[in-house]
Amino acid sequence: MSNVTTTSPRTDERVADPITLTSVAAEKVAELIAAEDAAEALSLRVAVKSGGCSGFNYDMYFDSEVASDDIVRTFGEVSVVVDAESAELLTGSTLDFTDSLQGAGFHITNPNATRTCGCGNSFS
């Protein structure tokens, strides 16, 4: 992507990208954030939580807070925030959005996942 900014609140050093948004995903997230009509600026927070059929679940939600150890990336108009622990499990991942006859939704492709669940939200 030509419009990607790399920052980290805790350091000026370049850290590995925990997740990359495709242009389609970035456009859809920007559209969803605009629909929120929030008083504060919102970012997309992507996290990994324990649980699910395979051991870990992806969690995505809009957040207005950024912790000092969060990793922040900007894709076009969208800021993506990932906590340091989740970043280790997400490094090299891609978030995409598809809209087809079978349905619309976000999908994470994670090269670190050794096993995934049929639901698409759980991995190990």
**What is the per-residue pLDDT across 67-121, written as a single tens digit (0 to 9) for each?**
999 999 999 999 999 999 999 999 999 999 999 888 899 999 999 887 655 444 5
Asked if residue 123 is part of any domain, the answer here is: no
Asked if residue 96 is part of any domain, the answer here is: yes
Query: For residue 34, what is the enclosing H or E element?
Result: helix 23-36
Whole-Å CA distances, 40 to 5, 78, 88, 93, 99: 21, 14, 28, 28, 29
Domain at 36, CATH number: 2.60.300.12
Asked if residue 73 is part of any domain, the answer here is: yes
Tell me the whole-structure pTM to 2 decimals. 0.78
Report how many domains make up the chain: 1
Q: Which residues contact 98 (CB under 8 A, 6 or more apart)?
A: 24, 104, 105, 107
Asked if residue 92 is part of any domain, the answer here is: yes
Asked if residue 45 is part of any domain, the answer here is: yes
- At 6, the pLDDT band (50, 70, 90 cuts) reads very low
Asked if residue 108 is part of any domain, the answer here is: yes
Question: Angle 65-27-25 (CA atoms, 0-180°, nearest 5)?
Answer: 80
Asked if residue 19 is part of any domain, the answer here is: yes
Q: State percent of the chain over pLDDT 90.
A: 59
